[in-house]
Amino acid sequence: MKSTEKRVEIRGSQRRPLENGQTVGKANNNELVEVTVLLRRRPGAVVPPALGTKKAPPLSIEELEAQHGAAPGDIQSVEAFAKSHHLAVVRVEPGKRTITLSGTVGALNEAFSTELSMQKTDKGVFRTRSGSLSVPEALGPIIEGVFGLDNRPAASPKFRRLAVAPRAGGVSYTPPQVAAAYQYPAGADGTGQCIALLELGGGFRPADLQAYFSGIGVTPAPSVLAVGVDGGKNSPGTANGPDGEVMLDIEVAGSIAPRATIAAYFAPNTDRGFIDALLAAMHDKTNRPSVVSISWGSAESGWTQQALNGLNEGLQDAGLLGITVCVAAGDGGSSDGATDGLAHADFPASSPFALACGGTRLVAKGTAVTTETVWNDGANGGATGGGVSEVFGLPTWQAEAHVPKSVNPGQKVGRGLPDVAGNADPETGYEVRVDGEVAVIGGTSAVAPLMAGLVALLNQKLNRRVGYLNPSLYTTPAIRDAFRDITKGNNGAYAAGTGWDACTGWGSPNGTKLLAAL
């Protein structure tokens, strides 16, 4: 780096030290590392203010890339910067607004004015950084984020496995039985749709899927594809690891929409992996997903601002494409599992461009719901996430939803979540098969693919994408009334009540009513 080079901080790149991390030395200066550089939208690109309404019809992937992709001049500037700092340009993807660079730790340290260290926690040893990143002044307006320097885990899966016998009244269901209770539309099987699943670890075994789907009468088994991102791949391990998440996602979505293509995008569990997996799904010109299910996340406070912005803009782009993104709202109650005494919203569910999916305890018989309350099994058993975002302001479409002020100091008025809910209590959980074992699993991780399956059925029946549902959900009474209001229970700091609440949103779906409303 030239001493005369005037530099500016990359906006939002400030990173906290790894919590409970013990530094074990500097990162090896000769280690080769890949990073993803996220660029601004093409100058002049305008996101329609009516996103999510009939006034803003969905774009094709090709139209999105042409209108919102990175400008050639911006790409050339980053390529010149890379060359001057001995970094190789691995991939340029203008439509995704990303450039993949590769270089040694030493070269990356110099290029972005940081120092990478190795830190140890009970989860392993990770390459980390703290503080902010900087680039030459001319690149300040161009670069929106640099991801991959730090490879600490970004998120956790939001599933809960039933470890002991359920309490009185506990019961388990197959996913089609839950769909029947929620009166999902008849005569639809997901034909012509692709459901994308984002997975940050774990994997599936085809023999398990064949056995599972055959066992519940879904034949032939759905088509399941594994798509690798940033070196991630289908890597099944043990039943108690992230395989439980992967298998839950596939088995719930696949049994509800068995003729849809299920595409699982596997990426490393880092902020880079998360963003690149989302972009890979959205820009997949072979499978062209119409709905995405995300069952991974973590408290807003654990993300850098550049990662929050990058994922949020990716979700916004999904809205432009008419892709519905269903995201688990978390399993740690209103604290999201944090121990600082504050309430935390889980991200990316807290993005205003995500359909945030909360959790209930469902007791049903056939197509009749007997009781349904907020899922809350206490501190050790898990509870639905939900609350008020400390990052994202109150969207205009939530203005009449009576979102409460945050219970935290400052009482921020922000984006309220979840938007909808579904069965998540492990004690009324889903019968699945994981690594050869039959198990009962719950968590809001199950609700995201449950809703994604419904969206695939709706898209098929309507012969169009329902797309970014949030504005219509909050402002169209017929759509809002297609959800069963959950009025009993709490998730810690927030209580259920009549209308929208920060535990279960508008409630659980009646799929047939929702189809009619749409």
CA distance 194 to 287: 6
Catalytic residue among 334, 445, 472, 508: 445
| 445 counts as catalytic | yes
| 485 counts as catalytic | no
Catalytic residue among 249, 251, 271, 300: 249
Contact in structure between 121 and 127 (CB atoms under 8 Å): no
Catalytic residue among 74, 208, 245, 271: 245
* Bond prior to 236 in cis (omega within 30° of 0): no
- For residue 174, give both structure tokens: 């197959």
- For residue 92, give both structure tokens: 């340029």
Nearest to 160 by CA among 18, 455, 359: 359
Strand order across the 117-121 sheet:
22-26, 117-121, 124-128
Contact in structure between 355 and 325 (CB atoms under 8 Å): yes
Sign of CA dihedral 67, 68, 70, 74: positive
Torsion angles phi and psi, residue 475, rounded to 5? -120, -5
Contact in structure between 258 and 173 (CB atoms under 8 Å): no
Contact in structure between 398 and 413 (CB atoms under 8 Å): no
Nearest to 37 by CA among 106, 3, 85, 4: 85
Contact in structure between 417 and 444 (CB atoms under 8 Å): no
30 exposure class (CB count in 10 Å sphere: 0-12, 13-18, 19+): exposed
End-to-end CA distance of the chain: 57
The set of catalytic residues is 245, 249, 445
